[in-house]
Amino acid sequence: MAGLIARAARRQRVMRWIVVLVLGVFFLLPLVAMVMFTIREPNGHYTFSTWRLLANWKQLGQTYPDLWAGMKSSAGLAVFTVLIMLVMLVPTAVWVRLRLPKMRRFLEFVCLLPLTIPAIVLVVGLAPVYAWVTYFLGGSALTLTFAYTILVLPYAYRAIDAGLSAIDVRTLAEAARSLGAGWATVMWRVVLPNIRSAVLSASFLTVALVLGEFTIASLLNRENLQVAIDLLGKSSATMSVAVSFAALVLAFALLFLLSFAGRRRGRRGATTPDQLGAVSPSLIASEAIGERS
Amino acid sequence: MTALVSTTNSVAVRLDGLRRSFGDVHALDGLDLDIAPGELVALLGPSGCGKTTALRILAGLEDPDTGRVLVGGKDVTDRPANHRDMGMVFQAYSLFPHLTALENVEFGLMLRRQRAAQRRRRAGEMLELVGIGAHAGRYPHQLSGGQQQRVALARALAIQPQVLLLDEPLSALDAKVRVQLRDEIRRIQREVGTTTLFVTHDQEEALAMADRVGVMRSGRLEQLGSPEDIYGRPATAFVADFVGLSNRLPGRVSDSGVEVLGTVLPLIDSSAAPVGAAVTAMVRPESVNLEVDPQGVARVLAASFLGPTSRVTVALPDDTLVLAQVASSRLHELSPGTATRVVLQPTPVVVSTA
Amino acid sequence: MSVVGHQPDAKPAESGSAPAPAPAIRRFRWRRAGVLLGVAPFLAFVTIFLIIPTLVVVIGAFASDDGQPTMSNLRTLTNGYILDAFGRSIVLSAVTAVAGAILGALLAYALVTAKPNGLLRRAVTSACGVLAQFGGVTLAFAFIATIGLSGFVTVFLQDQLGINIYSGGVWLFDLPGLALVYTYFQIPLMVIVFLPALDGIRPQWREATSSLGGSTWQYWRRVAMPLLAPAFLGSTLLLFANAFSAYATAAALVSQGSPIIPLQIRSALTSEVVLGQQNVGKAMALGMVIVVAIVMGMYALLQRRTSRWLG
């Protein structure tokens, strides 16, 4: 038998793997180089001392206090930014959907604005604002969380907006209200549980962004992970590279796990869109620029 | 318009012993089907019965594991889809969104390198044939679902294909549009005379449109026959159940038929069960008469007004429910709680021992 | 039933109704104000940390050091070295946008032919999500470790194949190096941005073309490419804006001079030597915003076409 379709599918599979492998090599090389760099000694031997030190947190803090401070900063920033983003964005998005639908376009525009204003530009204008912030709240790196929340708006908003669309929040709210629920109940017990995966998505993207941010922290003279890595690069390049690599792997693990946490809106061949939930990172970021450099 | 109609293109189609499995699932388990030239055959069945797989194998979009496809007597099993000269209408997303209706219809002609003026003219005529000549310049997103499917039909027919394939073209449309469009499709198909395979899960559609209906289950044809045969003389309990409504009533086989609720009904297949066997008879609601009778043991439970006719549900003393079709004018005398007597008409029935 | 703030008390226009509306409208206004309060915190936050900084930049671009309105900042933009920097930024962005677009589209196409929920697609998409944001210091170090002067690929090529990639000069820390490094995050970004468009290509279109007699080439030429063109163009524009705005990578890689605009802004901000440069930095920032805004505007227009066809 001919099996024409099967043959075409096979050809496609071959093409697919060739492309992935060739580009994969291009992408893996620097990553491999990073690892090699952290384990290679000048005399040609290999050692894992850098990695062992990285795993030993107490000693790490003693040997590289700046790096440790930067790591703690970024960890704290990640947590705070996620919190502020959720507290600011989710109620607002839901509220606009339910009570102020005419404001929706405006909200979307506002949330996409950070994309049009590059970080390098934003930081120019943030300087005077942060002078006030420092005056009121001190000069800790954690105050960066406000700027980071702005940076993450486009991605977080897209994720949450998509989640709200998928569950038809208006109908849910109307049903709950007709059963006698107050607005607080609607938000807390009806809407939130149903957009769990969108919220998770937005949170993971926020963490990835915060871990990778350099521009604003650097130019506002505050210490975060990337700034610390940069600084460390001048004195201990191996540890610097090791930390960078670890951060990368962590972010990858987060996003990879996220891709399982909710149904993908796969539309290939289906005639009805998948109604439930999560939006994959690709879908969210589809209209966003990845400018965090 | 006569230039469009071409009955000389009509060919016979034969599907010979088609088998197709996806892993453990047997989508097609030995399908044999002959379609006469110019005939419209509907493949009817629940999802997963293999009807779409059969259509796609005929179109060349899937490979069979074994079996042959013959069109006009020639074996086309090894021919790729783009050399099979077939027109296809899909359930959804039929049209190319970046082209107008006219350009969509022209598409096949453009691939065959027809001259611009000529194909524009023919496309225009096809759009007139399907009834939307006025919307030729519109884009798919500006057309309703029904209009889009008309354009899809025009596009499929524009190339004067040997076979027309319709993959549940009406399933995604509103009810009213569906009914309207199915008569149109039938009319157009008769006018153009192309051999057609039509796949659907809606039995009303199949009965209304087809010359012959093939009821499929689990990759096999349960019965192939005219709509009247399929409905009036179902070969198996599955067919009787799937096509139209059936009451499943207990009965006992006698030498002249099967005795159900006091009446002896003739059997469609007298060898289905031995005399004396206890069987389930499939009785159609329109064969059930209800007589208002104060001594009757059947009590009216509910009545559904369906327009010209109505359906009344009665409960027998042993809690069996029987569905009867009555003229709506009788509804007032059959209110819930009324005592009635069930009288079965002697229409031949199918029985199963299951 | 509508939950929009509307006039629950106002009667529909009927003939001869008494002038009841006045108190109803007042009630309505209070209700509306109350609803707006719900978005007030968010708007306040955005105003402080986004709108005001933007205004600082825009207004500052037109202000002199002592606060007087002036066009002199904008005039310095026409200085040779700043125009050069703009020019280099644009060229760098354009080159990496096109390279990233083509290779990224290829990779995206490879992904879309795989199982939608399969491991390959998940892993590569997640990797792209990370690498698209992977910039700055990390990336610079990675590339230095790979093809820097003692990077392991450099050394490998030198020792094993006798090729010295730096025979013509060290290019890694100049524009060519930047271009190579930028491509590293442009390709993943393209995959992320372009994949949904590819997902929007329905299999029915391919099958319809086939049944109408079209070959693979005809399908691509007549159906797929016209449909994907706006998305491809839009994504390329996005990549352009991304490269144009990028700072951290260049900051980490380029230590000598400021060949591109973001680095010029850095020196304007951090410079203590050249006086009166603060507001020139703002003028440059304004210039950047205008370029990016134009590109994003074009992108938005193309997106509408894409979402209509492939959404």
Please say if the pLDDT value at position B95 is more than 80.
Answer: yes
CA A133 to chain CA centroid, nearest Å: 25
Residues 6+ apart with CB under 8 A from B56: B62, B167
Residue C174 belongs to a domain: yes
State mean pLDDT over B322-351: 89
Closest Cα partner for A89 from A146, A170, A149, A174? Answer: A149
Strand B195-200 to strand B212-217: parallel, antiparallel, or no bridges (unpaired)? unpaired
pLDDT digits (tens, 9 = 90+) for B250-259: 999 888 888 8
Percent of all residues in chain C with a pLDDT value above 90, rounded to a whole number: 26
Interval C240-256 mean pLDDT: 86
Answer yes or no: is C235 within a domain.
Answer: yes
Q: Nearest to residue B135, comparing CAs of B180, B103, B98?
A: B103
User: Cα(A81)–Cα(A143) distance, rounded to whole angstroms?
Assistant: 10
Question: Are the beta carbons of B186 and B150 closer than 8 angstroms?
Answer: no
Inter-chain CB proximity C202 and B60 less than 8 Å: no
Q: Between A262 and B303, name the one with better pLDDT.
A: B303
Percentage of chain A beyond pLDDT 90 is 14
Count of domains forming chain C: 1
Residue C68 lies in a domain: no
What's the gap between Cα A281 and its chain centre?
9
Q: How far, rounded to the nearest angstrom, does the alpha carbon of residue C298 sit from its chain's CA centroid?
A: 12
C128 belongs to a structural domain: yes
List the one residue out of B123, B177, B172 whose CA is nearest residue B151.
Answer: B123
Name the residue with higher pLDDT: A78 or B4: A78
Indicate the average pLDDT of chain B.
Answer: 90
Count the Cβ atoms, other than its own, within 10 Å of residue C103.
Answer: 19
Q: Least CB-CB distance to C126: which of A122, A259, A293? A: A259
Nearest to B93 among C205, C215, C226 (CB): C205
- Through-space distance between the first and last CA atoms of chain A, rounded to whole angstroms: 55
Q: What mean pLDDT do residues A52-77 have?
A: 84
CB contact under 8 A, B59 and C211: yes
**Which amino acid makes up residue C31?**
R
The reported pLDDT for the residue numbered A269 is 29
Confidence of residue C23 (pLDDT cuts 50, 70, 90): low
- The Cα A17–Cα A13 span in angstroms is 6
Residue of B61, B63, B172 with shortest CB distance to A6: B63
Give chain A positions within 8 Å (CB) of B83: none
Pairing of strands B257-260, B247-254: antiparallel
- How confident is the model over C69-85, as a mean pLDDT? 79
Residue with tokens 């940076």: A151
Residue C305 lies in a domain: yes
Q: Is the pLDDT of residue A285 over 70?
A: no
In-domain check, residue C71: no
pLDDT for position C25: 64
Closest-CA residue of B relative to C227 is B98
At residue B31, does pLDDT exceed 80? yes
CB contact under 8 A, B59 and C207: yes
- Report chain B's terminal Cα–Cα distance, integer Å: 55
Cα separation of A140 and B109, whole Å? 70
The pLDDT of residue A265 is above 50: no
pTM of the model: 0.82
Task: Find the CB nearest C146 among A19, A30, A251.
Answer: A30
Tell how strand B163-167 and strand B288-292 pair up: unpaired
Length of chain B: 354
How many other C-beta atoms can be found within 10 angstroms of the C-beta atom of residue B216?
27
Q: Report whether pLDDT(B86) > 60.
A: yes
Nearest Cβ partner of C213 from B94, B97, B159?
A: B159
CA dist B101 → A26, A190, B111, B184, C305 (Å):
45, 44, 16, 18, 18
* Closest C-alpha to B60, from C202, C220, A2: A2
Interface of C with A in 1-60 (CB under 8 A): 1, 3-5, 35-36, 38-39, 41-43, 45-46, 48-50, 52-57, 60
- Name the β-bridge partners of B310: B305, B326
Contact A124 C285 (CB under 8 A): yes
Q: In this structure, what token pair is assigned to residue C90?
A: 């644009």
What is the tens place of the pLDDT at every residue in B207-249? 999 999 999 999 999 999 999 999 988 888 899 889 988 898 9
Closest CA to C4 of A173, A202, B315, B157: A173
d(CA C207, CA C189): 30
Distance CA C192, CA A290 (A): 9
Domain with residue C185: its CATH number is 1.10.3720.10
Where residue C186 falls among pLDDT bands split at 50, 70, 90?
Answer: very high
- How are beta strands B212-217 and B40-44 bridged, if at all? parallel
Beta strands in chain B (DSSP E): 13-22, 25-35, 40-44, 66-71, 74-75, 86-89, 163-167, 195-200, 212-217, 220-225, 247-254, 257-260, 263-265, 278-283, 288-292, 298-305, 309-315, 321-327, 339-344, 350-352
Q: What is the pLDDT of residue C220?
A: 94
Residue C200: its pLDDT value, please? Answer: 87
What number is the average pLDDT over the span A73-82? 93
- A147-172 pLDDT, tens per residue? 999 999 988 888 888 888 878 888 88
Q: Check residue C177 and give its pLDDT.
A: 86
E strands, chain C, in order: none
User: For the residues A179-193, what does the mean pLDDT come to?
Assistant: 84
Contact C204 B90 (CB under 8 A): yes
pLDDT value for C14:
42
Residue C266 lies in a domain: yes
The answer to whether residues A73 and C26 touch, using CB atoms and an 8 Å cutoff, is no
Neighbours of chain C (3+ CB pairs under 8 A): A, B
Note the pLDDT tens digit of each residue in C28-53. 666 677 777 778 889 999 999 999 99
Instruction: Write out the two tokens for B330.
Output: 């009788």
Token pair belonging to B75: 């074996």
> Are the C-beta atoms of A46 and A40 separated by less than 8 Å?
yes
C82: nearest Cα among C234, C212, C249, C277 = C277
Q: In what order do the strands lie in the sheet with B350-352?
A: B263-265, B257-260, B247-254, B278-283, B350-352
Interface of A with C in 141-200 (CB under 8 A): 146-147, 149-150, 153, 170, 173-174, 177-178
Nearest by CB: B98 against C214, C215, C226: C226
Q: Which residues of C touch B196 (CB under 8 A)?
A: none
Q: Number of CB pairs < 8 Å for A and C?
A: 297
Q: What is the value of ipTM here, to two decimals? A: 0.84
Top-ranked range on mean pLDDT: pick from A148-157, A254-263, C130-139, C276-285: A148-157
Write down the pLDDT at residue A119. 87
Q: Give DSSP secondary structure letters for chain A.
A: ---HHHHHHHHHHHHHHHHHHHHHHHHHHHHHHHHHHHHB-TTS-B--HHHHHHH-HHHHHHH-HHHHHHHHHHHHHHHHHHHHHHHHHHHHHHHHHHH-GGGHHHHHHHHHHHHHS-HHHHHHHHHHHHHHHHHHH-S-GGGHHHHHHHHHHHHHHHHHHHHHHHHTHHHHHHHHHHTT--HHHIIIIIIHHHTHHHHHHHHHHHHHHHHH--HHHHHTT---HHHHHHHHHHH-HHHHHHHHHHHHHHHHHHHHHHTTSS-----TT-SS---S----HHHHGGGS-----
In a domain, C187, yes or no: yes
Domain that holds residue C184: 82-310
| Whole-number pLDDT of residue A118 | 86
C296 interfaces chain A, CB cutoff of 8 Å: yes
Q: List the strands of the sheet with B220-225, edge to edge.
A: B86-89, B163-167, B195-200, B40-44, B212-217, B220-225
Task: Please state, in angstroms and rounded to a whole number, the distance separating the CA atoms of residues B66 and A220.
Answer: 71
Using pLDDT thresholds of 50, 70 and 90, give the confidence band for residue A49.
Answer: confident
CA separation for the pair A234, B304 (Å, rounded)? 84
Looking at residue C22, its pLDDT comes to 57
CA dihedral over C295, C297, C302, C306, signed as positive or negative: positive
Say yes or no to pLDDT of C17 above 70: no
Give the three-class secondary structure for B16: strand
Structure confidence at residue A41 as a pLDDT band (50, 70, 90)? confident
DSSP state letter for C78:
T
Instruction: Pick the residue of B71, B86, B100, B111 with the most C CBs within 10 A to test the interface with C by mutation.
Output: B111
Question: Has residue A263 got a pLDDT over 70?
Answer: no
CA distances from B222 to B25, B150, B206 (A): 18, 31, 15
The length of chain C in residues reads 311
Query: What is the mean pLDDT of the segment spanning C155-162?
Result: 82
pLDDT given for residue A267 in this prediction: 35
Looking from the CA of A126 toward its CB, the CA atoms found within 13 Å total 29
Residues facing residue B166 across a β-bridge: B89, B198
**pLDDT, tens only, C91-113:** 999 999 999 999 999 999 999 98
What is the mean pLDDT of the segment spanning A198-203? 86
The pLDDT value recorded for residue B17 is 93
